[in-house]
Amino acid sequence: MLPYGSRGTSVIDLAGKVLNNGQINASSQLECTNCQFIGGVVDDRLSSLIFNSSNGIMSTKDQLRRALVRLSRLFCPECLSQLQEVTLYHQIPKMLMFSVVGQNISASKIIKLKMENRSQEFYIKGIVYHGGFHFTSRVITNDGRVWFHDGQLGANCQYEKRLSEFTEMELNTCNERQMSLVIYAQN
């Protein structure tokens, strides 16, 4: 997976390797929105790295929604409507990452993950950008400050401005590089 070591490594492949989950941590089931049919529960392994899986996604918030609730190829045995597959985490992860390589979507500043009896907010904490065979990043601190980091320029980060001063679309690019990975965490 990493044939060149640290040089030429895909940040998405690296994140996938780090966040790889071999344990059952979720379940999914088929549901009918027309007649309320519910299929059996199936154990699932769900990574904290969410990939874009379909067209029409406008934001990372939409990307999460589509990853957890998607149309099935199967039809309801009771009313013949198309079923949807709903996936639920057994335990809400502390961090979520979104692969947005080559997508024209915006980075939502806050994402809410709803569970059966509660919900959890995730706040944007970092964005990795790619361009010119080189990655740079923005780091967002708990107090809402946005810092730019380019490892080729040294270990120091440069303060840009507060997150509230950025539009979600402004976060898509940084110094002519495109957003490729968006990182969220619980506060």
**Which contacts (CB < 8 Å, 24+ apart) does range 138-141 have?**
138/171, 138/174
pLDDT of amino acid 52? 64
> Is the separation of the CB atoms in 50 and 73 below 8 Å?
no
Name all domains of the chain by residue range, CATH numbers in brackets.
20-185 (3.90.70.10)
Radius of gyration (Cα) for the chain, nearest Å?
18
pLDDT in tens, 110-147: 998 876 677 889 999 999 998 777 889 999 999 999 99
> Is the separation of the CB atoms in 100 and 124 below 8 Å?
no
pLDDT in tens, 20-60: 666 777 889 999 999 989 999 998 777 777 776 666 778 88
Higher-pLDDT residue of 169 and 118 is 169
What would the mean pLDDT of 158-171 be, rounded to a whole number? 92
The pair of structure tokens assigned to 50 is: 């969410």
Q: SS3 for 123?
A: strand
Residue 63's φ and ψ, nearest 5 degrees, are: -60, -45
pTM (two decimals): 0.82
d(CA 40, CA 110): 32
Higher-pLDDT residue of 144 and 187 is 144
- At 171, the pLDDT band (50, 70, 90 cuts) reads very high
